[in-house]
Amino acid sequence: MEVTIKSPASSANLGPCFDCAGIAFPLYNYVKVRKTNDKKIRVIIDEKNDVREFIVDEKNIIFQSLKRFHEKINIDNTGYDVKIETNIPIARGLGSSASVISGALIGANELNGKPLKKNDLIDIAASIEGHPDNTTPALVGGFVIASIEDDGHVLYEKINWCKDWKISVCIPDYKLLTELARSVLPQKVDFKDAVYNIQKSAQLITALTTHNADIMKSALNDKIHQPYREKLVPGMSEIIKFLKKEKNVLGCVLSGAGPTLAVITDDDNICNVEKIVHKVWYDLDIKYEIMTFAPEENGATVV
């Protein structure tokens, strides 16, 4: 028996809410999961018809997900084939690994008679990534605030996104590994910068609950991760600076660990956004694509 899971992309941080907020998008990986009896985890990646197949080990996130799942249900892992049809660009800050982890976990849960609840899967997924801001929206959809609590469980809540606000993701054609993007972050942050981010995070939640565009404009700023990551994303600071002057733009932030930029607009007229991004990245010889989304309200589901 095989199950297929449709698992969405996501964008983490939304500027100030580092490691604790994310939003799911209607762009999907399809994860097909099948049980085998050879005790191996075989991963088949189908990236635009370029198909690669390999046996994975402890270093691989799918291996880790299935291992943790079986430890939790206390039944032997007899092996799986996991085929991923990838539509979410890899290593671009769009939660492709969270989508794959979520798909593998939901698939294994289905094939084993649903022994675990959604919250158990959310906990396992977050523990594999180390932060819950992509895995939780990938599993529950929508805009989510999530944290790993002291007892290891994820505490989360969905907050309604304002239906007039769209998100355009500007995806450059190069990869940036999260590991590298985290390695440039400082060990300590300045007290004033911490206070700044606390204020902006509070404003972001306020803006969403009151649909206040002026507060959202102020909220979409950050001083604890984006300034350090700028050097890894050529043109980012110029694009953010130019977009701040655009009337319908509420803000431009790094999507997750980058290099994708997420532009939040007060309508879906993104003509000027495209012009600005084109001007900066064309001059830097960076190819890119832009997609505009409203959030995906459903998390990963069996299809």
Give contact residues for ligand HSE (rule: CB under 6 A): 12-13, 18-19, 131, 133-134, 178, 181-182, 225, 256-257
Give the type of residue at 131.
H
**Which H or E element spans position 188?**
none
- The answer to whether residues 290 and 96 touch, using CB atoms and an 8 Å cutoff, is no
As a whole number of angstroms, the distance between CA 210 and CA 247 comes to 20
Which C-beta is closer to ligand HSE: that of 224 or that of 270?
Answer: 224
Considering the complex, what minimum distance in angstroms separates the CB of residue 184 from ligand HSE? Answer: 10
**Tokens standing for residue 289:** 């694509």
Considering the complex, what minimum distance in angstroms separates the CB of residue 296 from ligand HSE? Answer: 18
Sign of the CA dihedral with 221 first, then 223, 225, and 231 last? positive
Which C-beta is closer to ligand HSE: that of 86 or that of 178?
Answer: 178
Which C-beta is closer to ligand HSE: that of 203 or that of 226?
Answer: 226
Distance set, CA 18 to CA 11, 158, 253, 284 (Å): 11, 16, 11, 28
Considering the complex, what minimum distance in angstroms separates the CB of residue 117 from ligand HSE? Answer: 24
Which C-beta is closer to ligand HSE: that of 222 or that of 246?
Answer: 222
Which C-beta is closer to ligand HSE: that of 131 or that of 166?
Answer: 131
Considering the complex, what minimum distance in angstroms separates the CB of residue 144 from ligand HSE? Answer: 13
- The answer to whether residues 15 and 223 touch, using CB atoms and an 8 Å cutoff, is no
- Per DSSP, what are the bridge partners of residue 51? 46
Considering the complex, what minimum distance in angstroms separates the CB of residue 94 from ligand HSE? Answer: 10
Displacement of CA 116 from its chain's centroid (Å): 23
Give the CB-side neighbour count of residue 61, counting CA atoms within 13 A: 20
Displacement of CA 185 from its chain's centroid (Å): 19
Considering the complex, what minimum distance in angstroms separates the CB of residue 1 from ligand HSE? Answer: 32
Which C-beta is closer to ligand HSE: that of 12 or that of 216?
Answer: 12
